[in-house]
Amino acid sequence: PATAAEGPDGRVLLAGVPLADIADAHGTPVYVLDEAEVRDRCRTYRAAFPAAEADVHYAAKAFLCRGLVRLLDEEGLGLDVCSAGELELAVTAGFPPERILLHGNAKSPADLDTALRLGVGRIVIDGPAEIARLAAAVGPRGHQKVMLRVTPGVGAGGHAKIRTGTDGQKFGLSLRDGHAQHAAARVLAQPGLELTGLHCHLGSQITEVKPYLTALRRLVGLMARLRDAHGAVLPELDLGGGHGIAHRPGEPVLDPTTLARRLRTALAEDCAAAGLPVPRLVVEPGRAVIGPAGIALYRVLAVKTTPERTFVAVDGGMSDNPRPALYGVRYAPRLAGRRSTAPAVRTTVAGRHCEAGDLLAEDVALPADTRPGDLLAVPVSGAYQLSMASSYNLVGRPPVVAVRDGAARLLVRRETLEDLRARDVGL
């Protein structure tokens, strides 16, 4: 993860920039992105999944802004988007539309129109009704490359809310009872649609390779049936994202290089057994690219010691990071603006919002003299925090600052009270 160094005065530096200086210049809460760490992670993925045989599409839902779009393009990644908003932002920032995939179990007319107008590379069909709808939008003389999202019946992922590979959840077409095969046959029959491959996404925060291998085998099985029944040999296989990261030291991670090696071997074996050519492999990591590269910075506003707990309350919370409340995710905050020699005490870091459940970290060790005005840094904060942020309690969403070689650069400004008021046009 973004490796913060500690200066002689105890101030924490990221890419040579004191976090306290960023807090002073941009206010708190603020999210800081270590650009070198993002690039390193992109390069690890590109090396593990080389362009000659694979594509790496960054899942924009984890976090997206124009500065990041530029960087991802430079590093040779593709993009996975799931709304007209993400798609327009990427394309207007200069990202080549042909390297973008559009996902979604409920694509709006605007999502589809935008995708067709901008010339998105692939549209991933999620359900039977979408086939006719997309074919009509494309027209018989039009042409759109599509993939079909299959539910492989594999349960994996860090929390029930983010498991998407099993039957009975809302995404994809089941392998059971020939649902997926039947849908694929219908896609193949549409003159305007070109079925380039199958897709699945098992879930998120997965730390084992095995579920991917099971899904791979099942999808290759369907590819063989499509060849046998319809003479269609699909050139691509997309196994989605979900590669797990550590939010605290010592937690398990899914190493992309190991994953790539084992996928490549399994794909070669399974395809050889089925007599199929090896398709181009696609992966869609979001969290693993951006999560460890981000740090959230908060200012302590209040400290309260009760008979049960010590609360350190900060100026952000579930509005900028809903993940502890939603999925019970645990983080490891630390003091970032000074050194303390006080003993560590068991502390609950609370947010500022009007709910007892607005806690950013429970049972963490912080110095006993932690006090209002102190800065707290929460590492591994780059994914699904800001992208899921709200303006709950009319608290504006925090800015994003990138750091690199001792310099800081604002990527996204803070949402101001004027921004929030401007939307309220009634009387």
Point out which residues bind ligand LLP (CB under 6 A): 59, 61-62, 80, 103, 162, 201, 204-205, 240-243, 284-288, 323, 327, 384, 388
Q: Closer to ligand LLP by CB, 287 or 404: give it.
A: 287
Q: How far apart are CA 79 and CA 282, in angstroms?
A: 11
45 is in an annotated binding site: no
The verdict on whether residue 384 carries a ligand-binding annotation is yes
Using CB atoms within 10 A of its CB, is residue 85 exposed (0-12), middle (13-18) or buried (19+)? Answer: middle
Q: Is 421 annotated as a binding residue?
A: no
Q: How far is the CB of 101 from ligand LLP (least distance, A)?
A: 8
Q: How far is the CB of 272 from ligand LLP (least distance, A)?
A: 27
Shortest reach from residue 166's CB to ligand LLP, in Å: 14
In the complex, least distance from residue 19 CB atom to ligand LLP, rounded to whole angstroms: 23
* Pick from 234, 236, 244, 230: nearest CA to 202: 244
> Pick from 51, 67, 145, 142: which is nearest to 101 by CA?
145
Report d(CA 78, CA 373) in Å as an integer. Answer: 42
Nearer to ligand LLP, 23 or 150 (CB): 150
Closest CB to ligand LLP among 72 and 336?
72
Residue whose CB is less far from ligand LLP, 39 or 230: 39
Chain centroid, CA 318 distance in Å: 18
Q: Any known ligand binding at 264?
A: no
Indicate the residue among 311 and 392 with the shorter CB distance to ligand LLP.
392
Helix, strand, or coil (residue 135): helix
Q: Determine which one of 65, 200, 271, 354 is catalytic.
A: 354
Q: Is 37 annotated as a binding residue?
A: no
What's the closest the beta carbon of residue 128 comes to ligand LLP, in angstroms? 18
* Residues 6+ away with beta carbon under 8 Å from 368: 342, 343, 344, 345
How far is the CA of 44 from the CAs of 50, 203, 372, 405, in angstroms?
Answer: 10, 21, 40, 20
Sign of torsion over alpha carbons 378, 384, 390, 396: positive
Which amino acid appears at position 250 of this protein? G
Q: Mind giving me the DSSP string for 330-356?
A: ----EE-SS---SPEEEEEEE-SSSST
Q: Which is nearer to ligand LLP, 13 or 254 (CB)?
A: 254
Q: Annotation-wise, does 78 bind a ligand?
A: no
Using DSSP, how many helices (H) and how many strands (E) does the chain show?
A: 12, 21
Residue 191 in marked binding region: no
Minimum distance of ligand LLP from residue 288's CB (angstroms): 6
Is 354 a residue of the active site?
Answer: yes
Annotated binding site for pyridoxal 5'-phosphate: 242, 284-287, 384
Residue ranges of the annotated binding site are: 242, 284-287, 323, 327, 355, 384
Q: Summarize the annotated binding site for substrate as residue ranges.
A: 287, 323, 327, 355, 384
Annotated active-site positions, please?
A: 354
